[in-house]
Amino acid sequence: MKVGILTGGGDCPGLNPAIRGFVMKALDYGFAVYGIREGWKGLVNDLVDKEPLTVADVEELIDKGGTVLRSSRTNPYKDPAQLQAVKTTIQKHGFEAIVALGGEDTLGVASKLYKEGINTVGVPKTMDNDLSETDYTFGFDSAVQVNVEALDRLRDTARSHSRVIVLEVMGRHAGWVALYTGVAGGADYILLPEVPLNVEELCTQVQRAYARKGYALVVASEGVELPEEEHKETKVDAFGHVVLGERNVGEWVAKEIEKRTGLETRSAVTGHIQRGGAPSAFDRVLASRLGVRAAQCVYERDFGKMVALHGNDIVVAPLEAAVGTLRTVPKALYDSLVPLFNK
């Protein structure tokens, strides 16, 4: 069987171990797996490898960040000619299945293609951890680790200079990255997109923490809603998502704290540093397990599915359900952790 594999959307640690897991299991089944370069763009522009992937191509990938297949944010459903090109390329190469590693957008395309008769299997990845039908996505744990290290370093400076420091982290419209970073890094306040911004309460907590220990740390998600007049949302990507990093949430929050409390305040942004580097051990294992299970889906011709983590088990879920709704931080989880910073 000829199978194509691609990685789409923002890269994250774990993609390479997942490719490795998929190829290793697929070779046991006797499949010929072809790398498709740059996500869906690779099917639009026929960027398909000439030779199938071998053990030698993938075995050294366990500790490598990024994606050897490269990535792009390409939405072929924006243009009928591109969509036709995708179908033509699949036919030309005789692919019986396409395995897509991606988040909501990439897997959204895989889900639509499946409904049009193309055999697709999805593997969930995103540092945002916002995909439904899976308890975790790989990339998330590694990103949080980077942020926690950053927060630990910022604490040294905040303490030394008696400052307030705000760390802005990614995560789009879900606050998972901010929440886990803030809890693991012992932040004094955490701002999530799911919780309406209350600047007064934020400043009160910052002042109380500062009064106790002479500094304070705040983690702010890039997706936090700011008072409307304070920011303008402009640039959007191929899937219509606002480029949230350009709103400079951390800087806005820092200025507001300084203005209202008079405390010297700085902001820092980890940005794309969160997406690079070696995957954590958790992400390596999760990605490997998901990759192997995706090969099994192809073998069983169980298409239109996404492999997923439920508890400690790898299961399959309909792609459509996975991309239908964003998985945000439940209020009960946030509320249960508030005691850690409302002191």
CB of 222 to ligand F6P, least distance (A): 6
CB of 171 to ligand F6P, least distance (A): 5
Query: How far apart are alpha carbons 67 and 88 in whole angstroms?
Result: 25
Nearer to ligand F6P, 124 or 304 (CB): 124
Query: How far apart are alpha carbons 181 and 190 in whole angstroms?
Result: 9
Q: Does 269 bind ligand F6P (CB under 6 A)?
A: no
Give one word for 201, left, alpha or beta, with left for phi > 0 and alpha for psi -120 to 50: alpha
CA 116 to each of CA 83, 104, 112, 252: distance values in angstroms, whole numbers, following the listed order: 11, 18, 7, 45
Nearer to ligand F6P, 9 or 304 (CB): 9
Span from 207-215, 238-246, 258-266, 290-298 in contact with ligand F6P (CB under 6 A): 238-246
Q: Does 219 bind ligand F6P (CB under 6 A)?
A: no
Tokens read off for 104: 């909501």
Nearer to ligand F6P, 97 or 244 (CB): 244
Element (H, E) at 113: helix 104-115
Q: Which of residues 164-193 bind ligand F6P (CB under 6 A)?
A: 170-172
Q: Does 127 bind ligand F6P (CB under 6 A)?
A: yes
Query: How far apart are alpha carbons 279 and 213 in whole angstroms?
Result: 34
97 strand-pairing partners: 3
Per-residue mark of binding to ligand F6P, 273-292 (x: CB under 6 A): --x-----------------
Residue type, 204: T
CB of 24 to ligand F6P, least distance (A): 27
Per annotation, catalytic residue among 128, 130, 141, 283: 128
Nearer to ligand F6P, 39 or 171 (CB): 171
The order of strands in the sheet holding 164-169 is 189-191, 216-221, 164-169, 265-269
152 catalytic per annotation: no
Q: Does 70 bind ligand F6P (CB under 6 A)?
A: no
Residue type, 134: T
Q: Does 41 bind ligand F6P (CB under 6 A)?
A: no
Kind of pairing between the strands at 164-169 and 97-102: unpaired
Query: How far apart are alpha carbons 75 and 61 in whole angstroms?
Result: 27
Which of 126, 137, 147, 280 is close enough to bind ligand F6P by CB under 6 A? Answer: 126
Catalytic residue numbers read: 128
Give the binding site for ligand F6P (CB under 6 A): 10, 103, 126-128, 170-172, 222, 237, 243-245, 275
